[in-house]
Amino acid sequence: MKSFSILIICSFFLLFPAHASAQEATIIDFTEVVKAKVVSIESEETKKIPGTDTVAVFQTIQAILLEGSKKDQVITFVDDYLRLEAGDTFYIRHSIDGGTGRETFVSTDSYRLPTIILFTVIFIVLTVLIGGKQGVRGLLSLLGSLLLILFVLLPAIIDGYSPTLITLIVASFIIIAGSYITHGFNKTTSTAVLGMLITMVITGIMAYSAVHMGKFTGYGSEESVYITHNSGGGINILGLLLSGIIIGLLGVLYDAAIGQAIAVEELHHIAPHVSRKKILHRALRMGREHIGALVDTLAIAYVGTSLPLLLLFYQSSVSPILVINQEVVAAEIIRTLVGSIGLILAVPITTVIAVFMLVKETPSADLELIKKEEENLLHTKHHH
């Protein structure tokens, strides 16, 4: 229990900057987060953060407020969170203690919008230049998906609708709209859509079973606690966990289903006389290779997002079994496993549907003709 308590304390210091902890104990009468710009660094020294053995760089900073109630005012404050330089733009929290009237200024984040815009532009330009028409369609599909999530899914969850139900509905629209926008209205796209919808329902059932069998609460992250507090308990946090599993699967599920549908279509085009059984066998062979790559991608992506947390656990003396059993870790494991299972199922489900929808059995008369032509061709080669 002692080591676990130490782990919780370490997690607290990891998630909450130490310089802000003292401010949280005051009674805040007024607070605002505004943009500011560093005028100069007055001094800089290295010392321990009070109450810990952690060494940090403390800067005495002179900055001008660029917005808010004290716009254009120059302030001086001490910061141990961001390593700032003269000319840097950042966000600062301005608070007034309701009891004493004392003003405090605490840095919260660097100003990252220019970087985000730059890489967004690079992403769009490369997608259009290299992807061409399909790239443009993909961007439109992505935009549509984000709009559905921002203006339908999130408001519906906040309004108290079942997160699981509304996620299944929105995910279905994302699958349908995204597929047809990107690949057009054709039988191949319809095949992939049908395969994705069936797989998503099966995955949703499995995710529901997993979180209930494992007795998950949904409170494995700091965000869940804040959401419950801000909504007054009006949001189903466990349903939110299920929603995250389903939404997280959509990207790789889309890739697998479209890939299999197109594989079946191309195999049939290049060899229209080959039977459905043989095409199914060949397409599944291609799908197995695809599964290997995508499952690895899915798992590593989840590990990447949880790397700081895993490192924190790795540094502690907590038993590995206890670490795996912690909801914050177990939830990611279940998310990865259920997502991977859904991805694996998408390959045979979509392939079978595609074979029956896209492959037309060649009439026996045509098969005899093809066979005779092949025999004549073989005979001609031997003759020469």
Note whether residue 382 is domain-resident: no
> Is 178 found in the same domain as 67?
no
Q: Higher pLDDT residue, 27 or 229?
A: 229
pLDDT digits (tens, 9 = 90+) for 331-365: 888 888 888 898 899 999 999 999 999 988 765 54
Looking at residue 94, its amino acid is H
Split at pLDDT 50, 70, 90, the class of 3 is: very low
User: Where do we find the tokens 């060494």?
Assistant: 55
Give the Cα separation of 296 and 319 in Å (integer): 26
| Residue 310 structure tokens | 């895993």
> Is 172 found in the same domain as 77?
no
Nearest to 164 by CA among 231, 221, 210, 105: 210
> Is 196 found in the same domain as 108?
no
pLDDT at 10 over 50: no
> Is 109 found in the same domain as 143?
no
> Is 161 found in the same domain as 48?
no
pTM for the predicted model, two decimal places: 0.73
User: Where do we find the tokens 């549907």?
Assistant: 353
List CB contacts of 93: < 8 A, sequence separation 6 or more: 31, 32, 33, 105, 106, 107, 108
Number of separate domains in the chain:
2
Tell me what pLDDT residue 63 has.
94
> Is 163 found in the same domain as 105?
no
Nearest to 65 by CA among 86, 42, 93: 93
**Coil vs helix vs strand at 317:** coil
Give the phi and the psi of residue 34 in degrees, each rounded to 5. Answer: -130, 165
pLDDT digits (tens, 9 = 90+) for 293-329: 777 777 787 777 777 777 877 777 777 788 788 888 8
**Coil vs helix vs strand at 167:** helix
108 CB-contact burial (10 Å; exposed 0-12 / middle 13-18 / buried 19+): middle
Express as a percent the part of the chain with pLDDT over 90: 34
User: Where do we find the tokens 């004493």?
Assistant: 100
Tell me what pLDDT residue 364 has.
52
Note whether residue 271 is domain-resident: yes
> Is 184 found in the same domain as 296?
yes
pLDDT digits (tens, 9 = 90+) for 40-77: 999 988 887 777 777 888 999 999 999 988 899 999 99
Tell me what pLDDT residue 90 has.
93
Note whether residue 336 is domain-resident: yes
pLDDT at 203 over 70: yes
Tell me what pLDDT residue 370 has.
52
pLDDT digits (tens, 9 = 90+) for 87-120: 999 999 999 887 787 888 999 999 999 999 999 9
Q: In which domain, by residue range, is 6 found?
A: 2-113
> Is 106 found in the same domain as 206?
no
> Is 230 found in the same domain as 194?
yes
